[in-house]
C-alpha cells in the first residue's frame, strides 16, 4: 500500500478498475478471481522485488570449496544471499529503484526460485514450501483492499512524504506506520 500510495494515482486506479471489472458485484474477491488480474499480479511481483519480506535468505553452509563470480568460497562457509540487493541489480532491472508494475506484466520471470533475479521465496531445496499459499494470501488480501475501498493519503501528506523505510530484522517490517483513510464503497 505504501508503494502504491507513493506512486502516480494512475497505477492504483488501473488496478482498481481491473479488479472491480473482473469481480463485479460479487462483494468478495476469491482465489479464482486472481487469475483474471494480471495487473494486480504485476503489482505484487514488483512489490516483492523491491521489498522482499526476508531480505537475506536463510543461511546455507557450503559442502565443498567453490568459486562464484571469481570469489573463492571455502568448504564449510556460511553463506547468505542478499535477496534485497538482487532485486535491485542493474544488470537485470532497468531503473531498479523505481516501482514500475508494468515491467512485471508479461515477463517470464516468476518467483518460484528458478529465476535468480527474483527470489523473495528463496530457492533450491530449502526454498519456501508454501510459496503458492503465501503468494495467494498477499494477492487476495491486496485485491480485497483495493476492491472494497477507495484510498487516500491523510490530510496534508503528499506522495513524496510517504516513506518506505524498514526496520532491520529477519523480516522487513515498515519503520513508520502509514495511516490511510479508507472509503468503503459497499457499506
Ligand atoms: C508472503 C509469504 C511468504 C514469504 C515471502 C515466504 C518466504 C520464505 C523464504 C524467503 C524462505 C527461506 C527460503 C530459502 O532460504 O531459500 C521460506 C522458508 C519457509 N517457508 Fe515461507 N514464505 C511465505 C509464506 C509461507 C507460508 C504461508 C508457509 C506455511 C504455511 C511457509 C512455510 C515455510 C517453511 C516451512 C520454510 C522453511 C523451508 C525449509 O527450510 O526447508 N512460508 N519462506
DSSP string, 37-88: -HHHHHHHHHHHHHS-SSSBPPPEE-SS-EEETTEEE-TT-EE--BHHHHHT
Task: Report which protein residue has its CA nearest ligand 1's atom 23.
Answer: 134
Say whether the ipTM exceeds 0.85: yes
Cα(80) to centroid(ligand 1), Å: 16
pLDDT tens-digit series, residues 97-106: 999 999 999 8
pLDDT at 2: 96
Sign of the dihedral defined by the CA atoms of residues 28, 34, 37, 39, in that order: positive
Regarding the beta carbon of 121 and ligand 1, being less than 6 Å apart is answered yes
pLDDT at 170: 84
Sign of the dihedral defined by the CA atoms of residues 152, 154, 156, 159, in that order: negative
pLDDT at 187: 63
Cα(130) to centroid(ligand 1), Å: 6
Average pLDDT score over residue span 48-75: 94
pLDDT tens-digit series, residues 122-170: 999 999 999 999 999 999 999 999 999 999 999 999 999 999 999 988 8
Report the atom number in ligand 1 closest to the C-alpha of 134. 2
Regarding the beta carbon of 173 and ligand 1, being less than 6 Å apart is answered no
Best of 130, 141, 142, 172 for a ligand 1 pocket test (most atoms within 8 Å of beta carbon): 130
pLDDT tens-digit series, residues 9-56: 999 999 999 999 999 999 999 999 999 999 999 999 999 999 999 999
pTM (predicted TM-score): 0.95
Cβ proximity of 118 and 49 under 8 Å: yes
Regarding the beta carbon of 16 and ligand 1, being less than 6 Å apart is answered no
Average pLDDT score over residue span 100-121: 96
Residue with cell 495511516: 179
Cβ proximity of 80 and 95 under 8 Å: no
Regarding the beta carbon of 53 and ligand 1, being less than 6 Å apart is answered yes
Amino acid at each position: 500500500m505504501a508503494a502504491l500510495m507513493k506512486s502516480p494515482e494512475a497505477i492504483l486506479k488501473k488496478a482498481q478498475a481491473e479488479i472491480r471489472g473482473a469481480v463485479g458485484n460479487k462483494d468478495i474477491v476469491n482465489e479464482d478471481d486472481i487469475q483474471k488480474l494480471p495487473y494486480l499480479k504485476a503489482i505484487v511481483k514488483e512489490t516483492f522485488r523491491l521489498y522482499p519480506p526476508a531480505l537475506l535468505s536463510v543461511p546455507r553452509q557450503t559442502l565443498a570449496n567453490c568459486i562464484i563470480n571469481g570469489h573463492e568460497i571455502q568448504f564449510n562457509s556460511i553463506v547468505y544471499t542478499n535477496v534485497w540487493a538482487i532485486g535491485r541489480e542493474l544488470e537485470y532491472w532497468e531503473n531498479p529503484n523505481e516501482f514500475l508494475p508494468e515491467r512485471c506484466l508479461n515477463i517470464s520471470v516468476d518467483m518460484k526460485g528458478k529465476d535468480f533475479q527474483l527470489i523473495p521465496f528463496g530457492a533450491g531445496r530449502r526454498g519456501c514450501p508454501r510459496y503458492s499459499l503465501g503468494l495467494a494470501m498477499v494477492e487476495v488480501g491486496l485485491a480485497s483492499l483495493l476492491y472494497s475501498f477507495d484510498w487516500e493519503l491523510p490530510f496534508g501528506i503528499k506522495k513524496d512524504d510517504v516513506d518506505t523505510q524498514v526496520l532491520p530484522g529477519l523480516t522487513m517490517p515498515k519503520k513508520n506506520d502509514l495511516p490511510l483513510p479508507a472509503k468503503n464503497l459497499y457499506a
